[in-house]
């Protein structure tokens, strides 16, 4: 942009460029480090485009400035300097979820849950203020060096109380993460953000978006018509959360962000009995099927393999050692014949430990089921 100062703020370097303008790192008149998001209109832009761009920029400023929450980027100042409109925000030292995924692929489960929970806290607060973000995606969730999660970029935010802000028939947002109703240009509410956050959570857990495609049309077709590929090996509480966030119909999703946090807390170790992996996206090879004795009475439809039926809890019902194939009691730690560990007990122990780690990751948050369901800024 070629300027050293913006309304008294000394620009030190350019941080990036967005759809409406550039973002700079700068020093405030008091000497603190801030980020400045600018919008510079081209002199040749037509009147309608100019009005729409300015209105969108000012809407972001109004939306973000009204939100005071530890998981939402804080707006410090708003103004104009000649033809440059600007928003001054706190400087965030860290990386986006997008950058972390590109660097590491799938994010470690406990960290992904922490990011999801903090994002839910931010969204619950914003929705309480009547603001729908409309552009939740990995690029707009910032991870600070101290571990704090910040929701950013309210450039598409809709202030529900303002008339004429959400226009039915207008598609705005990022294709890969928008909800079905957003893709159809329908009126949006908080549940649209929940779908977008679910898409982001899915990508954190797998390293890939839930609705891949080489063209926007292919992506939108997936959002509208297909279900995402299931993620193997998740604790049941996490799997249910992802699935419910990504329901096509809003009334089948979580109805507010606090319900998501409650769902993450609701541990369930039943997935261990299915022989699934502990790490997301990495299915464990199940123990080899062991042919039963000819007189065992196993139905031919099972392919001649022993099939475990959890409803039958007799000690030896259909359970064999995964190493030597000998029948063994599911309640003992090791096989009596070869000494191999009981694979079912190992899976259950690992699953319980994983859910405990998830609960510990959420321990710093208020339980919405115990305090009337309201989230307060800290």
Cβ atoms of 92 and 119 within 8 Å: the answer is no
Report the candidate in 50, 60, 19, 52 with the shortest Cα–Cα distance to residue 159: 60
Report the candidate in 150, 113, 147 with the shortest Cα–Cα distance to residue 360: 113
Residue among 83, 135, 139, 153 flagged as catalytic: 135
Cβ-proximal residues to 83 (8 Å cutoff; 6+ apart), any chain: 40, 41, 43
DSSP 270-305: GGGGGT--SSTT-PPPPPPP-PPPTTS---GGGTTS
How does DSSP classify residue 176? G
**Residue 268 annotated as catalytic:** no
Cβ-proximal residues to 5 (8 Å cutoff; 6+ apart), any chain: 11
SS3 143: strand
Residues acting as catalytic residues: 135
């Amino acid at each position: 942009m070629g300027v050293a100062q913006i309304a008294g703020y000394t620009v030190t370097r350019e941080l990036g460029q967005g759809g409406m303008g550039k973002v700079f790192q700068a020093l405030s008149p008091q000497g603190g480090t801030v980020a400045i998001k600018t919008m510079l209109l081209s002199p040749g832009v037509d009147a309608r485009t100019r009005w729409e761009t300015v209105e969108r920029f000012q809407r972001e400023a109004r939306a973000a400035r009204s939100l005071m929450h530890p998981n939402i980027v804080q707006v410090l100042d708003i103004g104009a300097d000649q033809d440059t409109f600007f928003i001054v925000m706190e400087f965030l030292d860290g990386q986006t979820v997008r950058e972390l995924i590109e660097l590491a692929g799938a994010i470690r489960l406990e960290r992904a849950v922490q990011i999801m929970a903090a994002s839910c806290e931010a969204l619950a607060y914003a929705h309480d203020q009547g603001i729908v973000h409309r552009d939740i995606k990995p690029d707009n969730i910032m991870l600070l060096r101290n571990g704090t999660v910040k929701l950013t970029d309210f450039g598409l935010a809709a202030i529900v109380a303002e008339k004429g802000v959400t226009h039915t028939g207008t598609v705005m947002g990022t294709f890969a993460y928008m909800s079905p109703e957003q893709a159809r240009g329908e009126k949006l509410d908080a549940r649209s953000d929940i779908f977008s956050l679910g898409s982001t959570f899915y990508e954190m857990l797998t390293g890939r978006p839930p609705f891949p495609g080489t063209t926007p049309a292919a992506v939108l077709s997936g959002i509208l018509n297909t279900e995402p590929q299931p993620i193997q090996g998740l604790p049941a509480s996490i799997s249910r959360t992802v699935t419910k966030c990504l329901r096509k119909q809003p009334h089948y999703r979580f109805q507010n962000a606090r319900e998501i946090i409650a769902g993450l807390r609701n541990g369930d170790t039943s997935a261990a009995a299915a022989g699934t992996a502990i790490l997301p996206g990495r299915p464990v090879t199940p123990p080899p099927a062991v042919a039963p004795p000819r007189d065992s009475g196993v139905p031919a439809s099972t392919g001649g393999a022993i099939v475990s039926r959890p409803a039958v809890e007799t000690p030896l019902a259909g359970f064999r050692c995964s190493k030597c194939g000998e029948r063994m009691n599911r309640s003992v730690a090791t096989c009596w014949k070869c000494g191999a560990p009981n694979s079912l007990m190992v899976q259950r122990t690992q699953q319980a430990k994983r859910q405990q780690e998830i609960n510990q990751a959420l321990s710093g948050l208020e339980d919405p089921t115990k305090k009337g369901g309201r989230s307060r800024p800290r």
